[in-house]
Amino acid sequence: MGERIVVLGGGIIGLATAFECQRRGYKVTILEKVTCGGQASGAAAGMLAPYSEIEEDPDDFFRLCLASLKLYPKWQQEVKDIAKAEFEYTNSGSLHCVYHEADLLSLESRQQWQGDFGAEADILQGEELYKREPELSKEIIAAMYYPEESHVFAPDYVKALEQACRNIGVQIYEQLEQVDVVNWEEEIHLVAKDGQSFTGDRLVICSGAWASELEGTFGLSIPVHPIRGQICAYDMPVGKVKHILYSSQGYLVPKGNGTLVNGASEDIAGFNTTVTERGIRRLTNWNKNVLPYLANEIPFHEWAGLRPATQDGYPLIGKLSTAPHVIFATGHYRNGILLSPVTAHIVADLLEGQRDRVPLQMFAPERFS
Ligand code: FAD
Ligand code: GLY
């Protein structure tokens, strides 16, 4: 124990990993080129929604998401206690809405396979549905109610996690502009643009959408690319909308601070995080089909973030077979907030040489090489 762990990247994945590893007795340093949580993690809607987000048949990725959802109640409380800070974590439940009779079949099929995984899932229609969410459009013919789906206020969660890390002794270096891995095969050695040098025993790569920059360093194919998410928020009286509302076109998340978050586009724009009129218009044109009252409302805030997407849609989580002291934890695409506790636990387990808590084969970082 007491080994020195260098975490590259201070987004939610780097912070969560650092928090868990430091708690288990490692000496952790985070290297962040700008500010912790300043990229995708601070931009997220904060949904913890594996049932709504995953449409395909069950696989180990779904198992990973589910494992993380189950860790959340305890995890978020531990972060709050150690940070001595609050952030919103609401068990709102969600409604996955459909508009056509034909879509009922797909709801039923989801209900069946997700039920096999222990999901609570009820198909609501008519009065039962509108009683649960009175503002919903009458065009919606049915919705799947997932009582377990929840959400956090992502910017505050990131801040609390950073504070929790600091409170337990994680060293955090920000504004490093550029950090290069100069040695990883035997010892870990990184150098920042200003010449500061960092050494360690193990290295954890948590650099989100920028992970592909390390292809040359490790001689690996790392097909992680940025997918921009444009998103906006409305002022809304607390309680007017109660659940996360999900449809094939996007989602709406009612926050406890009196805002309604409406996301999000998926567009390719390199590392550009500007918001376009077209991107937001797509959301504002669609959202009144879920909540008609939005037809008369204007978003008060618009922003964008870069999801770290991989070629096959699954994250890279695991050790390098040729250099097991290097661990990847990146490429969490649409579910990094949800996956932060389980990723942190998996990385700490890998450092300790524990058995995998979920099968990791499909997340192997070298699978594209
Ligand atoms: P990031 O937060 O991007 O952090 C990576 C960090 O690494 C950055 O701070 C960067 O500066 C740093 N870095 C990169 N290279 C280097 C280097 N060489 N040296 C030092 N630092 C480096 N997920 C959910 O679970 N639920 C949601 O509801 C949800 N909604 C979303 C909505 C939007 C609009 C977007 C954009 C994303 C959403 N996501 C959601 C996805 C989630 O935000 C991401 O999966 C998650 O934030 C990824 O975390 P990360 O730490 O890997 O990446
Ligand atoms: N998970 C929601 C998003 O990525 O937009």
Counting from 1 in the atom list of ligand 2, the atom nearest the Cα of 47 is 1
309-353: pLDDT as tens digits = 999 999 999 999 999 999 999 999 999 999 999 999 999 999 999
Percent of the chain's residues with pLDDT above 90: 94
Using the 3D structure, point to which of 310, 333, 351 is the last residue of a domain: 310
The closest of 43, 46, 53 to 275, measured between CA atoms, is 43
Strands (E), the chain: 4-8, 27-31, 47-48, 89-90, 94-98, 122-124, 142-146, 150-152, 171-173, 179-183, 188-192, 197-200, 202-205, 224-235, 244-247, 250-255, 259-263, 301-310, 316-319, 326-330
Do 328 and 212 sit in the same domain of this protein? yes
Mean pLDDT of 285-290: 97
Q: Residue 28 is part of which domain span?
A: 4-56+155-222+312-363
Do 295 and 243 sit in the same domain of this protein? yes
18 domain residue, yes or no: yes
CA of 152 to the centre of ligand 2 (A): 13
State the total domains in the chain: 2
359 domain residue, yes or no: yes
Measured in residues, the chain has a length of 369
320 domain residue, yes or no: yes
pLDDT of 59: 87
Residue 1, pLDDT > 70, answer: no
Do 44 and 115 sit in the same domain of this protein? no
Which CATH number is 135's domain given?
3.30.9.10
80 domain residue, yes or no: no
Q: Letter for the amino acid at 325? A: H
249 domain residue, yes or no: yes
Average model confidence (pLDDT) across the chain: 96
- The ligand with the least distance to the CA atom of 211 is 1
Whole-angstrom distance, CA of residue 164 vs CA of residue 170: 9
Using pLDDT thresholds of 50, 70 and 90, give the confidence band for residue 140. very high
pLDDT of 58: 80
116 domain residue, yes or no: yes
Cα 299 to chain centroid distance, Å, stands at 23
* Mutational test site, ligand 2, from 12, 249, 335, max ligand atoms within 8 Å of CB: 335
* Mutational test site, ligand 1, from 75, 173, 210, max ligand atoms within 8 Å of CB: 210
Q: How many CA atoms lie within 13 A of 211 on its CB side?
A: 36
Whole-angstrom distance, CA of residue 154 vs CA of residue 41: 7
Percent of the chain's residues with pLDDT above 70: 99
176 domain residue, yes or no: yes
Do 204 and 323 sit in the same domain of this protein? yes
Do 170 and 306 sit in the same domain of this protein? no
Nearest protein CA to atom 42 of ligand 1, as residue: 336
Do 242 and 285 sit in the same domain of this protein? yes
Pocket of ligand 2 (CB under 6 A): 45, 47, 53, 229, 263-264, 307, 334
> Is residue 287 within 8 Å of 294, Cβ to Cβ?
yes
Do 218 and 168 sit in the same domain of this protein? yes
**Secondary structure (3-state) at 207:** coil
CA distances to 97, 119, 126, 174, 230 from 141, rounded to whole Å, are: 8, 22, 7, 49, 28
Do 233 and 132 sit in the same domain of this protein? yes
Counting from 1 in the atom list of ligand 1, the atom nearest the Cα of 332 is 45
Do 216 and 317 sit in the same domain of this protein? yes
169-196: pLDDT as tens digits = 999 999 999 999 999 998 899 999 999 9
Do 172 and 276 sit in the same domain of this protein? no
Residue 57, pLDDT > 80, answer: no
Which CATH number is 22's domain given?
3.50.50.60
60-103: pLDDT as tens digits = 999 999 999 999 999 999 999 999 999 999 999 999 999 999 99
Mean pLDDT of 140-161: 98
Do 318 and 305 sit in the same domain of this protein? no
- Tokens for 212, please give them: 């592909």
Do 357 and 302 sit in the same domain of this protein? no
Nearest protein CA to atom 46 of ligand 1, as residue: 336
247 domain residue, yes or no: yes
Mean pLDDT of 213-240: 97
Whole-angstrom distance, CA of residue 30 vs CA of residue 296: 45
pLDDT of 42: 98
Whole-angstrom distance, CA of residue 247 vs CA of residue 35: 33
Using pLDDT thresholds of 50, 70 and 90, give the confidence band for residue 10. very high
Using the 3D structure, point to which of 310, 328, 355 is the last residue of a domain: 310
Nearest protein CA to atom 3 of ligand 2, as residue: 334
pLDDT of 117: 87
Whole-angstrom distance, CA of residue 355 vs CA of residue 346: 9
